[in-house]
Every structure is written in structure tokens, then in C-alpha cells.
Amino acid sequence: MLSKAKYVLDAIRFEHTIFALPFAYVSMVLAARGWPG
């Protein structure tokens, strides 16, 4: 079980997360049809 969790965490790299953040924010704004607030 622990080795499986380590494998998943190794697959989710910090660089991939940072690269995906702008796309996540743009998707959030488009889905909300404007800036939430």
C-alpha cells in the first residue's frame, strides 16, 4: 500500500502542478462565466 502511494506521489511532480495552475484558473473563470465574486 505504501509503495503504491509513493508511486502516485512520484507521478505528480511539482513541475507538472505549477504548469497546470494557469490552465486551472482559466478553466475556472470560463466555467463561472466571469471572475467569481
Residue 31: predicted pLDDT:
93
Lookup: cell for 30: 470560463
Residue 26: predicted pLDDT:
94
Tell me the pLDDT tens digit for each residue of 4-18.
888 888 888 877 788
Mean pLDDT throughout 13-37? 87
> Does the model's pTM come out above 0.85?
no
27 or 37, which is more confident? 27
**What is the rounded CA–CA span in Å between residue 13 and residue 18?**
9
Q: Which helix (H) or strand (E) holds 9?
A: helix 2-11
Largest CA distance in the chain: 42
Residue 13: predicted pLDDT:
81
Delimit the domains of the chain by residue range.
2-31
Mean pLDDT throughout 17-32? 91
